[in-house]
Structures are given as C-alpha cells and as structure tokens.
C-alpha cells in the first residue's frame, strides 16, 4: 500500500545536537511538507517542496533545514539553533496545489 | 494571509447524538476545504473535503457544509460512536497553501 513513512516515532536529543527526521513516500507525490504541532496551536508549516531540488521556507523555518534530493524523500534537520524543538513533527505530501494531504504518523522529538 | 478560526476547542457528546464543528476563514480566494481526524499519537487523516463550487457534501455519517458568502464551513457527524473520539482539524486552502484551524477535541461518551 502507498503511504508516508516517518521515522523514528520517538526521538530524544540533547541540547546542542542536530537531529534528522526521516520522511519517505511511495505515492509518487510531487509536493512534500513538514509541519510542527504543539498543543493548542494547530499545525504550523516549517518547510515545503514542490519539486526535487527545490524547497521553500514556511512560517517557522528558523532553526530547521531540509533537502529534497529524491522525489520520495524529504528529511528535516532540527538544528541546535532551534530554541524550543520539543514538539510533534508531521510530514505530509500531495500531488500538488489543491489536493488533500496524506500525512505520516509523526515523530515526537523531546530535548533532554 | 488567510486566518482560520475553529470552534469549539473541546466538545463532548453522548453516543448517538450529533456533533458539529465550525470553522471560519478570511480569504475569499480560498477554494478547497478539507477536514482531518487525528487520533492520539497518530498523523491526521483526511475524512472529507469540499470545494468552493459545492455547498454540501455527505459521506455516510459525516457531512460538510460551506457558506462562501459568510466564509464559514462546518463538519457534521451524526449518530456519533466512541470511535469518533479524536481531534478534528479544518483547513482552508488558498493557492498551494493550507491554513489549519487549531483543532477540536471530540469526546463521545458511551
């Protein structure tokens, strides 16, 4: 079955470390997205990519970086510059423009 | 930019009753309105959507209505069941940008 796979499901990071969250899709979707979810704040867009080797900043890109070397993969790096990285991170994809998202199951990142 | 407001933030209903969640949006250019259901510890799943050229859409116990003039859309769940308990998010889409509401935590009491 097609879908989006995020890994790991839980991730613990020490302060000052960079960590990379994986997102892979086999839906042949062109567009991929990273969202951060905090209680009571809904979903906030971090980065998105509509085509391989191209990506744009979302509303809260500071402290994050991404790459899109393959259509299937859109990894997110949470850098030490991100002041409050503890959150639930969701990856999504769609065929583009006004098609509904397919979401992954999320990665819960905790800074210890 | 677009601003999406969602109400209520929490909702409790008795099993078998109906539940209604409302969202308002500000940008008249928004033309696609999906609804997502998120169970605890999981990613959101699309449950129903509506485009701006349609006023109502129904799928079994779930329906969505859209009032473009008033810029609001609503999710209706009839004959609620305990498995409907989850967080529900609305979204308004303008161009290629999704703008999400802050979510409604629905609890169905058996």
> What is the pLDDT tens value at each position of chain A, 112 positions in all?
679 999 999 999 998 899 999 999 999 999 999 999 998 778 999 999 999 999 999 999 999 999 999 999 999 999 998 889 999 999 999 987 668 899 999 999 999 8
Q: In the prediction, which pLDDT does B1 show?
A: 76
Which of A40, A101, A105 faces B102 most closely, judged by CB atoms?
Answer: A40
d(CA A87, CA A69): 25
Chain A residues whose beta carbon lies within 8 Å of the beta carbon of residue B100: 42-43
CB-based contact B46 A41, cutoff 8 Å = no
Q: In the prediction, which pLDDT does A44 show?
A: 93
Name residues of chain B where pLDDT drops below 50. Answer: none
Rounded alpha-carbon distances, angstroms, from residue A84 to A43, A63, A89, A105? 16, 9, 13, 21
Chain A residues whose beta carbon lies within 8 Å of the beta carbon of residue B41: 106, 108
CB-based contact B100 A43, cutoff 8 Å = yes
Ranges assigned E (strand) in A26-82: 31-37, 43-51, 54-57, 64-66, 76-78
Q: In the prediction, which pLDDT does A97 show?
A: 64
Which of B43, B96, B103 faces A42 most closely, judged by CB atoms?
Answer: B103
The answer to whether residues A13 and A79 touch, using CB atoms and an 8 Å cutoff, is: no
């Amino acid at each position: 079955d097609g879908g989006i796979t995020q890994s790991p499901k839980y991730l613990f990071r020490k302060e000052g470390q960079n960590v990379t969250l994986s997102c892979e899709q086999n839906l042949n979707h062109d567009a991929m997205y990273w969202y951060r979810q905090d209680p009571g704040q809904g979903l906030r867009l971090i980065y998105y990519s509509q085509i391989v080797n191209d990506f744009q900043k979302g509303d809260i890109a500071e402290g994050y970086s991404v790459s899109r070397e393959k259509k299937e993969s859109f990894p997110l790096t949470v850098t030490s510059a991100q002041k409050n990285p503890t959150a639930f991170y969701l990856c999504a994809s769609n065929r583009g423009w006004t098609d509904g998202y397919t979401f992954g199951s999320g990665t819960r990142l905790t800074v210890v | 930019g677009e601003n999406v407001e969602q109400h209520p933030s929490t909702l409790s209903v008795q099993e078998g009753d109906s539940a209604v969640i409302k969202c308002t949006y500000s940008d008249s250019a928004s033309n696609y309105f999906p609804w997502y259901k998120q169970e605890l510890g999981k990613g959101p799943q699309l449950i129903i959507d509506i485009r701006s050229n349609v006023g109502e859409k129904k799928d079994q116990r779930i329906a969505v209505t859209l009032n473009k003039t008033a810029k609001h859309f609503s999710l209706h769940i009839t004959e609620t069941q305990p498995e409907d308990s989850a967080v529900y998010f609305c979204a308004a889409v303008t161009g290629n940008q999704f703008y999400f509401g802050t979510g409604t935590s629905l609890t169905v009491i058996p």
